[in-house]
Amino acid sequence: MSTESVAIRRKGALLDIVLDRPENGNLIDQPMSDAIIAAVTTIDDDTKLVRIVSSSKDFCKGRQSPMPPQGARPSAETLRRVVAAPPLALYDALKAVRVPVLSVVRGEAIGVGCALAGVCDVALAADDAIFQIPEMERDIPPTLVMSALIGRVPVKTVAHMVLSRVRLSAQEALVAGLVSRVVPVAALDDEANALTDTLLGCSAVTLRAVKQFLHLAPDMPAAGSSGFAAHLAATALSARF
């Protein structure tokens, strides 16, 4: 399941996804994306947490997008299939994981890297982390990245990041709702491990219930979300008896 650029490691109930392409800042290419999708869509009932980390100083500086040959005039349908569909499949797979997904961000999280951090249920960031959506500098609408963030990050935050191309510090990203917590870079690994241990101390059924509610409740009417909350709580509690 691992590739040269991404390591998939199972440690008990923890599934670690380690971005390991330091020579170019962990740019996501198709084999990396395929490996991540395969890992998160085949987790078993004993898995409690998926964690995305980097092996190097930067989390992810974007995507290595397939480009048409010089002089080619690909159709919109071809571009949709080759360029747009793969990252959307990655974001959708991470959203649909049955258990919480934690991103541990250090250094730069640019473009797709920013989306990867934001699409996770919890994002822990070092105080040296930088977040940016710079595609408009090349006159490209970053709607793919935006699709990962909308519904998880305030709309005004997404709009400002996209239109201004501003580089947000970790503290600014926290205030803007893009990350969950900021810690000193020297303490990032210890804090990530402590949070991991806290989550792994819960039962898988409880964690899956929380993830289901986080994933589905925001799109429900109030009455529906209340009923769904009662159903999930009762189901999780019944597993104890």
pLDDT in tens, 222-241: 888 999 999 999 999 998 87
Q: What is the per-residue pLDDT for 43?
A: 94
Q: What is the per-residue pLDDT for 239?
A: 83
Task: State whether 75 and 97 are in the same domain.
Answer: yes
Q: What is the per-residue pLDDT for 79?
A: 84
The 10s digit of each residue's pLDDT in 97-125 is 999 999 999 999 999 999 999 999 999 99
What residues make up the domain containing 16? 6-197
What is the C-alpha to C-alpha distance for residues 46 and 12, in angstroms, rounded to an integer? 8
1 in any annotated domain: no
Say what the pTM is.
0.92
Q: What is the per-residue pLDDT for 181?
A: 98
Task: State whether 187 and 228 are in the same domain.
Answer: no
Task: State whether 17 and 36 are in the same domain.
Answer: yes
Task: State whether 118 and 93 are in the same domain.
Answer: yes
Task: State whether 88 and 165 are in the same domain.
Answer: yes
Kindly give the parts of the chain with pLDDT less than 70.
1
Tell me, letter by letter, the H, E, C secondary structure of 89-136: HHHHHHHCCCCCEEEEECCEEECHHHHHHHHCCEEEEECCCEEECCHH
The 10s digit of each residue's pLDDT in 122-144 is 999 999 999 999 999 999 999 99
Task: State whether 23 and 127 are in the same domain.
Answer: yes
180 in any annotated domain: yes
136 in any annotated domain: yes
Q: What is the per-residue pLDDT for 52?
A: 99
